[in-house]
Amino acid sequence: MGSLSPEQSLNIDSVCIIGAGPSGLAAAKYLLAERAFSRVTIVEQRSSVGGIWNYVPLSSGVSVDATVPQTNPHAGQDQAIWQHSNASKVLGEQDQEAAAFLTPLYDRLETNIPRGLMGFSDLDWPPECQLFPKHEAVLEYIEHYAEDVRHLIRFSTQVLDVRLTKDRVWAVQMQNVSRKDCDDIEELTFDAVVVASGHFNVPYIPDVSGIRDWSEVYPGVISHSKFYRKPEDFADKKVIVVGNSASGVDIGAQVQGYCRWPLLVSSKSEAYLVDDISSSKLEKPPIAEYIIKNRSVRFEDGSIESGVDAVLYCTGYFYSFPFLDNLTPPIVTSGERVDNLYQHIFYRPQPSLAFPVLNQKIIPFPLAEAQAAVIARVFSGRLPLPGGDEMEAWEDGVKNEMGDGRNFHVLKFPADADYINAMHDWALSADRVGSRTSHNSTMNAEHKGGPRTIGKTAPYWGENEYWTRERFPAIKKAFQDCGEERHSKRTLADVGFSFEEWKNAKQEGVSGATT
């Protein structure tokens, strides 16, 4: 498979977007704004928008596949869970089954990002929404955001396979989601594909010594945060939570209120979110071995805990795109990152395949917009890509800096903020033929009645956004410390943070230092 020649533009007329979650919806909006495509189609396996923000309850009667260990990123297609829908009862009809696809959302999930930083650039949050929105509020927000692209979406349709044909177009095989699984497979061709299906489908549970036999003897004791729903399930149990990223910290705090103390928290690094020190919690190193006798676990420091009732892995997910398993060279090998990409977005051998929001430790909605702006301009032919050698050199540079594993797509602050602005500037370079203007001059030209840019302008972070982004772990902790009163907190000032006060104090300090 050949690559583009240096500074060659793509020639694209039709685009398929896989997934109607936040990144897929943002991609659709920016593509439409280019006014350059005859066909933009969004294919969504669910019956609604929102992607990962669709909550799926898990009752005792629902069977889920919690494979232990789970070390294979090629786990196959996402399987539907069939549940009874109450919607039909409103119409006085017989109760019907509806297909749901499991997401990691749990009952009491609230975002760990303040709403002002998290939202889309062209849609405000409802004023009554709390500072760190509940997952129900986020889904309503996304549904509102989707209103003007909903007509593009094919719901309840699962993508089975995506292949590049000899004519250099993408053949996309899709099928209606059906209980009988016997509907005809439909194949449509597109000039470009945006893979916005997310990367929270295949859980990672490491292959620790003894874990297979232990799980067979004690089935259901070892699980993953994808299957966690409520802390009451761990009442009076001896629990180990493995991992201390966002889900580990939040789930651990919830379980800690119900489990037998102390909650055991096993991790290999310090949490990047602010976490309380508590006598009801005991920090432990990584698990080294599972011992069947007395339902025991040995940690790397040699200590052993017996009578363990639950081990909950909050260890993240593999990158997995089963409909692209036949792609050569491959997108997924180890599953720790996505291979053969340029700028974390474009499939280097054939850049008409794009992957938004693969990055970790980022603010996803504004990042989705920033990348969508670039994707739209590249696909419309207004923004050329460098040649294959330069794109490969970029990937090699990231591997040298971040490694070839799980850190490859990590953009830890301020790298994430800098990346959003770099995408903004890159996209903006296409908005004036033969010139590169700043975001301010472009917006000022439009405000003064000057020529309007083609396309949609990506977000740009200023000092306020950088300030908030740097402090959001502390802001989240202040919010949580409010207890039940947190639900009435709407602004940063409500929890003791003010950018303006900080900026004034900073200016006064500089002024005082110079007088």
Sheet holding 192-195, edge to edge: 153-154, 39-43, 14-18, 192-195, 353-354, 346-347, 341-342
Residues 245 and 349 in one domain: no
Residues 52 and 186 in one domain: yes
Domain residues for the domain of 290 are 205-315
Element (H, E) at 176: strand 170-176
The answer to whether position 334 is within a domain reads yes
Question: Is residue 133 within 8 Å of 117, Cβ to Cβ?
Answer: no
For 101-149, what is each residue's pLDDT tens digit?
999 999 999 999 999 999 999 999 999 999 999 999 999 999 999 999 9
Q: Which CATH number characterizes residue 267's domain?
A: 3.50.50.60
Residues 358 and 311 in one domain: no
Question: Is residue 238 within 8 Å of 305, Cβ to Cβ?
Answer: yes
Torsion angle of C-alpha atoms 138, 246, 202, 366, degrees rounded to 10: 50
3 state SS of 122? coil
The answer to whether position 499 is within a domain reads no
Angle at 35 between CA 32 and CA 36, to 5 degrees: 105
Residue 509's pLDDT is 77
Nearest partner of 144 among 125, 131, 121, 116, judged by Cα: 125
18 forms bridges with which residues in the sheet?
43, 195
Residue 438's pLDDT is 36
Residues 428 and 352 in one domain: yes
Residues 151 and 19 in one domain: yes
Question: Is residue 358 within 8 Å of 351, Cβ to Cβ?
Answer: no
Residue 297's pLDDT is 98
Q: Using CA of residue 82, residue 86, residue 91, residue 92, what is the dihedral sign? A: positive
The answer to whether position 75 is within a domain reads yes
3 state SS of 195? strand
DSSP tag of 7: T
Residues 374 and 441 in one domain: yes
Question: Is residue 320 within 8 Å of 202, Cβ to Cβ?
Answer: yes
Preceding omega of 73 cis (within 30 degrees of 0): no
For the record, the structure tokens of 319 come out as: 């990158």
Between the alpha carbon of residue 345 and those of residues 92, 197, 372, 378, the distances in Å are 47, 14, 10, 11
The answer to whether position 483 is within a domain reads no
**Residues of the chain whose pLDDT is less than 50?**
1-4, 61-63, 86-94, 433-451, 513-515
Answer with the one of 394, 422, 447 that is the final residue of a domain: 447
The answer to whether position 468 is within a domain reads no
The answer to whether position 56 is within a domain reads yes
Query: What phi and psi, each to the nearest 5 degrees, are found at residue 121?
Result: -70, -25
Residue 274's pLDDT is 55
Answer with the one of 427, 447, 467 that is the final residue of a domain: 447
Residues 168 and 299 in one domain: no
β-strands 239-242, 296-299: how paired? unpaired
Residues 153 and 297 in one domain: no
Tell me how crowded residue 111 is: count the other CB atoms within 10 A of its CB.
21
Residues 75 and 190 in one domain: yes
Element (H, E) at 442: helix 439-447
Residue 366's pLDDT is 98
Query: What phi and psi, each to the nearest 5 degrees, are found at residue 15?
Result: -135, 135
Query: What phi and psi, each to the nearest 5 degrees, are found at residue 83?
Result: -130, 155
Question: Is residue 241 within 8 Å of 252, Cβ to Cβ?
Answer: yes
DSSP tag of 86: S
Q: How far is CA 484 from the centre of its chain?
A: 28
Instruction: Look at the block and give the residue holding tokens 């060659």.
Output: 8
Residues 251 and 299 in one domain: yes
Residues 224 and 145 in one domain: no
Q: What gap in Å lies between CA 463 and CA 441, rounded to an integer? A: 18
3 state SS of 170? strand
Residue 58's pLDDT is 86
Whole-prediction pTM value?
Answer: 0.91
What total of structural domains would you count in the chain?
2
Residue 409's pLDDT is 98
For the record, the structure tokens of 420 come out as: 């959003």
Residue 512's pLDDT is 52
Residue 272's pLDDT is 57
Nearest partner of 496 among 483, 481, 510, 508, judged by Cα: 481
The answer to whether position 229 is within a domain reads yes
Question: Is residue 335 within 8 Å of 319, Cβ to Cβ?
Answer: yes
Residue 59's pLDDT is 72
Residue 98's pLDDT is 76
Q: Which amino acid is at 186?
A: E
Residues 163 and 26 in one domain: yes
The answer to whether position 35 is within a domain reads yes
Q: What gap in Å lies between CA 227 and CA 439, rounded to an integer? A: 43
Q: Is 110 left (phi over 0), alpha (psi -120 to 50) or beta?
A: beta
Q: What gap in Å lies between CA 347 and CA 358, rounded to an integer? A: 13
347 forms bridges with which residues in the sheet?
341
Answer with the one of 447, 471, 486 that is the final residue of a domain: 447
